[in-house]
Amino acid sequence: MEGLMGTGAVILGVLLRFGIPVLVTAGFVYFLRRLDERWQREGTQREAVRPDEIRIFSELRCWILNDCTAEQRQRCPAFIEAIRPCWQVHRNGNGSMKEDCLGCEIFKGARVPVQA
């Protein structure tokens, strides 16, 4: 009887030592998978909504939004390089964005590039 109690205590100790961490880890993995699925769904829903917005912002130019004169347009690098988005043309020498561009509606509405 004493040997059976000793064996039971060892088995219980092993279960507590390994079983609880495995269960906690499995629960954490389950939670993270559910969270990832939710984020994937939200991303898919946003992608479904965004094409019209992307088209609008890709057609809208900063000189139209800022109501620039013809003289200002001729001096503006964004107008001269109309192929690239204006915030790319107006980047600082170190690659950072100008403060004016960060608050601009065209910049805020632009699509984030997706890496393939």
Segment 23-75, tens digit of pLDDT: 999 999 999 999 999 999 888 776 665 555 555 555 677 777 778 888 888 88
Sequence-separated (6 or more) residues with CB below 8 Å from residue 57: 105, 106, 109, 110, 111
pTM value? 0.39
44 with 69, same domain? no
11 with 41, same domain? yes
Give how far Cα 43 sits from Cα of 32, 38, 47, 61, 116, Å. Answer: 16, 9, 6, 27, 16
User: Does 1 map to a domain?
Assistant: yes
111 with 64, same domain? yes
Would you state the structure tokens that stand for residue 17, as one six-digit string?
């030592």
114 with 80, same domain? yes
Query: Which of 10, 26, 50 is the last residue before a domain boundary?
Result: 50
Q: Which domain holds residue 88?
A: 60-116
Would you state the structure tokens that stand for residue 59, as one six-digit string?
């057609």
Segment 82-112, tens digit of pLDDT: 777 777 777 777 777 777 777 777 777 676 6
User: Does 55 map to a domain?
Assistant: no
Query: Which of 32, 50, 68 is the last residue before a domain boundary?
Result: 50
